[in-house]
Chain A
Amino acid sequence: MSAPVLAVEDLRVELATAVGGLKAVRGVSFAIARGETFALVGESGSGKSMTALALLDLLPRNARRSVGTLRLDGVEIGALPEPALRRLRGNAAAMVFQEPMTALNPVLTIGEQMTEGLLTHMPETPTVVAARRAVDLLARCGVGEPERRLLQFPHELSGGLRQRVMIATALMTGPRLLIADEPTTALDVTVQAQILDLLRELQRDLDLAILFITHDLALVRRFAARVGVMYAGRIVESGPTAAVVEAPSHPYTRRLLACAPSLAAPRGHRLGFLSGLPPRLLCTPVGCQFRARCDVAGDACATDPPLRESAGGVAYECIHPPSEIAVRGPDMRSPPPTGAEARAGAPDAEAASAAPLLRAHGITVTYRLRGGFLARATTLTAVRDASLEIPPGRVLGLVGESGSGKSTLARVVLGLETPQAGQVTIGGMALGTLDRRARARAVQPVFQDPYTSLNPRRTIGEIVRAPLDILGLHARDERAEVAAAMLERCGLPRHMLGAYPVQLSGGQRQRVAIARALVSGPRLVVCDEPTSALDVSIQSQILNLLQDLQASLGLTYLFISHNLAVVRHLAHRVAVMHRGVLVETGDAEQIFADPQHAYTRQLIAAARG
């Protein structure tokens, strides 16, 4: 085998923070050969993006890197000064970033942004030649009308097109290495599949080495031959993807895999979970950094773990041999707790025969888009003639891509939006006839972003108690106790009552949001992407919590998500929305096993890869 395109040894990154140096990357080593994809996977804060940025020293200003050896195409570049590094950036190695909405400059044309790198690195190139190359690459990357695109601006392209432009731009100089930092995370699932296909094709044709940074294990399985799993700034396990994913060795990898809902796993099982949070890497961390959250950890884990080899060429950093981890690890796919069996099995007769709790009929929502002062108004139909029903105690999963109208429909069900046509009834009462208190008692929301959905100036106790005060439920002096009990039920200790949202992690905040929604005892809860802002291990905690609460309180959920695996995990029935229309509704098993509508088939195929 020829020398690897990229060889990294002992890469370290330290961030200067107000409370001291934070060791974000602590000795990372890997190599990528020509035509190979190596994936770095990890949760937020694991150091994967810092690793990517550190390779060409594109780190934020408060970060310092140090590196043992760093070879690009066999040439040592670890100690190069800034001007020499600049000649490599976007030239021998190029990057593609996550947010195609913000990663392109809004005021410069696509053409200028595509050609400026090439014209910087090869200033003798005539502009027409650079433009022709840009047109060729845009066409190669599946962008229609490439000549016209050069004169367009980023806001005139869709997210998928912008990401194609980003990739085409990265290829302008003919790089050997492509560093892709979450390149598909911000995209819809069908677009994501197209972009991955494109990257695969380009890699094959151009013999590219790709460093693929992602939080999504399912994506790694489909896209990368080898993977490194990062935790707390180190690669704790690495090897061929199949071996790592099918038979994980490190306790963290095992847990992480058990946390992720999958389209292949049996439906209705309980997700594995990771308690606690990753460590803050201040001072000089010693020993295995996962030990505080690990259930096989012992005293020996306080010393730095050795690198072990396990079957199939997998290396992992843990003091325990694989046999020990396997024996001592608990069954991570434990059955659901009592009371939840009903939801896992076939639809029980009672739920099926009962009158639906939620009935939405013929909902149509049209927005007038005002073009501004003195400009012509246009209309947009967000939801067209949508009808759905949920029996009491059941979960309906509503699936769709961004802009499909699923959140608008949720707002209608919550009574936050008045539809132009159609009617919503909850428990037999028309939503339009209820006053706001009665409506708030019947249905409550849990929103996506726990960072913005909680009032930052109220304590947790006040936030959870507020619905009781507003609706006048329970005796005044009992309300604090009711709120505290609901918080405990949602897995938050009592001492957090006096804390403010800023002091809580994302997962804890979402627990608060759920407690707030449930404290007034609504029968219907609308969950709008409740786990989309959370890491996989936290998502599994929240999904398990929602599942337990649903079973024990007999709740009814309208559960909205773009993530098919999450919906499949939780929902009894599934409705698929596409461009404002409900294209297919059916039993969850049946929809995933035998989708009828072409769009549903497309969605599921894209998610499977």
Chain B
Amino acid sequence: MIGLVGRKLAEAALVALIVSVATFLLTTWTGDLAISIGGLGASREELDRLRVTHGLDRPLLVQYLDWAGRALTGDLGRSFFSQEDVAPLILSRLPVTATLAVCSIAVGVALAFPLGIAAALRQGSWVDTLAQSIAALSQAMPSFWSGLLLILLFGVTLQALPISGADDWSSFVMPSLALGWFVFPILLRLLRAGMVETLGADYIRTARAKGLSRRRIVLRHALRNAVLPVVSLAAVQFGQLLGGSVVVESVFALPGIGQLAWHAIQRADYPVVQAIVLFVALIFVAMNLVADLINGALDPRIRRP
């Protein structure tokens, strides 16, 4: 297991390096930074001066090393717009997004597991049809729409929950439902397919022949195998959620990372955009690493090949 952790960490570090290069090139090549800073009306001399003061005249490699070196020490530059340091800016938005991500994935898992297991156990029955219909419906509903419906019901009609802001726990109920509702169908499908497959496996027949209880056969023998790919997917989805949901954060006016990204893109605030892209990519790498490690812990064939 220690060997596996070391190997996966080394792999993750290598991916992170590649990601940082890609992020850097992405923002350098998508436009002239001097124009973004100086504005379209800036004169040629002004632009040249901006290039020198921001070091944009240096070779690309030097610029990258400079940027990456400072990023490693936590210095991700300053916002062109507000002149704030970018790193604290992102960190200040993280608690909102992280809370939302945790609650959303919890909602998704809480919906997907019972429905997925029930559907697989009664494959082809009305339970299965119902579960799959709910999944299809949920996948067909964009989260801004389900968010608006929630606002109409709980916020406007019942006046039970706040419709915007992030003041206390009640502010997170509707956004989490909207996002959880959005992530659950894929989890459900994967779990159902996995359960159907493992329930037909030879070792399930062996378990039945041993006279084990149905509960033990389903939870210990079947689910333990079917859950492996679901864990990987849930980790990746969690990474996606940690990157912030632009749509849901906008609908509920949550001051999270998604909202920050949206505003930064609108204002061509390159240091902020670059930092968020890097942050999201690194979260992804980290979540894949976590998924690999959880799978290693759950699956002896990975842990002890």
Contacts and interface: CB of A to CB of B under 8 A. Distances in A.
Interface of A: 56, 58, 86-91, 94-95, 97, 99, 102-109, 116-117, 120-121, 153, 155-156, 166, 169, 372-375
A500 B207 CA distance: 38
Contacts of A108: 220-221, 224
B185 to A, nearest CB: 26
A88 B210 CA distance: 9
B48 interface: no
Contacts, number: 87
A155 B209 CA distance: 21
Given A107-B225, A107-B299, A156-B304, A87 B202 contact: no
Contacts of B267: none
Nearest to B206: A103
B52 interface: no
Most buried by A among B10, B205, B304: B205
A156 to B, nearest CB: 7
Contacts of A156: 300, 304
Contacts of A56: 209
A153 B301 contact: yes
Contacts of B205: 58, 97, 103
Nearest to A109: B300
Contact of B211 (A90, A97, A166, A375): A90
B7 A86 contact: no
A108 B212 CA distance: 15
5 contacts: A97-B205, A103-B202, A107-B224, A107-B299, A120-B211
B203 interface: yes
Nearest to A166: B206
Contacts of A106: 203, 225, 299-301
Contacts of B225: 105-107
Given A102-B202, A103-B202, A108-B224, A116 B304 contact: no
A272 B194 CA distance: 46
A90 B209 contact: yes
B212 A117 contact: yes
Nearest to A118: B210
Contacts of A103: 202-203, 205-206
Contacts of A153: 300-301, 304
A116 B210 contact: yes
| Shortest 3 CB-CB contacts between residues of A and residues of B | A89-B211, A90-B210, A117-B210
A451 to B, nearest CB: 19
A105 B209 contact: no
B213 interface: yes
A91 B202 CA distance: 19
Given A97-B205, A106-B299, A106-B300, 18 more contacts: A86-B211, A89-B211, A90-B209, A91-B211, A97-B206, A102-B202, A105-B206, A105-B221, A107-B224, A107-B228, A107-B298, A108-B220, A117-B210, A153-B304, A156-B304, A166-B206, A374-B7, A374-B10
The winner among B205, B206, B298 for most chain A CB atoms within 10 A is B206
B7 A375 contact: yes
A375 B8 CA distance: 10
Contact of B11 (A91, A117, A169, A374): A374
Interface string B1-19: 0000001001100000000
Nearest to A104: B203
A581 B268 CA distance: 69
Nearest to A102: B202
A89 B216 CA distance: 15
Contacts of A117: 210-212
B208 interface: yes
Contact of A102 (B201, B224, B298): B201
B149 to A, nearest CB: 39
A368 to B, nearest CB: 16
Contacts of A90: 209-212
Main secondary structure of the interface of A (DSSP, over half): loop
A56 to B, nearest CB: 7
A120 B299 contact: no
Contacts of A155: 300-301
Contacts of B299: 106-107
Given A105-B225, A106-B225, A106-B301, A99 B202 contact: yes
A316 to B, nearest CB: 32
Nearest to B14: A374
Nearest to B7: A374
Contacts of A120: 210-213, 216
Contacts of B209: 56, 58, 89-90, 94-95, 97
Contacts of B7: 372-375
A91 B211 CA distance: 7
Given A107-B300, A108-B220, A153-B304, A121 B211 contact: yes
Contacts of A102: 201-203
A244 B40 CA distance: 98
Nearest to A86: B211
Given A107-B299, A155-B300, A58 B224 contact: no
B203 A88 contact: no
B305 to A, nearest CB: 8
Given A102-B202, A106-B225, A107-B298, A58 B208 contact: yes
Nearest to B224: A107
A169 to B, nearest CB: 8
Max chain A Cβ within 10 angstroms of own Cβ: one of B10, B209, B225:
B209
Contacts of B11: 373-374
A426 B10 CA distance: 49
Contacts of A86: 211-213
A153 B296 CA distance: 14
Contacts of B221: 105, 108
B167 to A, nearest CB: 44
Nearest to A179: B209
A103 B208 CA distance: 11
B83 to A, nearest CB: 43
A58 B203 CA distance: 13
Nearest to B208: A58
A192 to B, nearest CB: 19
Given A56-B209, A88-B211, A155-B301, A116 B202 contact: no
A600 to B, nearest CB: 34
Interface string B264-305: 000000000000000000000000000000000011110010
Interface in B194-250: 201-203, 205-213, 216, 220-221, 224-225, 228
Contacts of A58: 205, 208-209
Nearest to A89: B211
A112 to B, nearest CB: 9
Nearest to B200: A60
A158 B201 CA distance: 20
A89 B202 contact: no
A559 B220 CA distance: 46
Contacts of A372: 7
B199 to A, nearest CB: 9
B211 to A, nearest CB: 3
A148 B210 CA distance: 23
A109 B212 CA distance: 16
Contacts of A109: 300
Contacts of A121: 211
A109 B225 CA distance: 13
Contacts of A373: 7, 11
Contacts of B206: 95, 97, 103-105, 166
Contacts of B201: 102
Contacts of B10: 374
Interface in B145-184: none
Contacts of A87: 211
Contacts of B228: 107
A97 B202 contact: yes
A120 B10 CA distance: 44
A117 B212 CA distance: 6
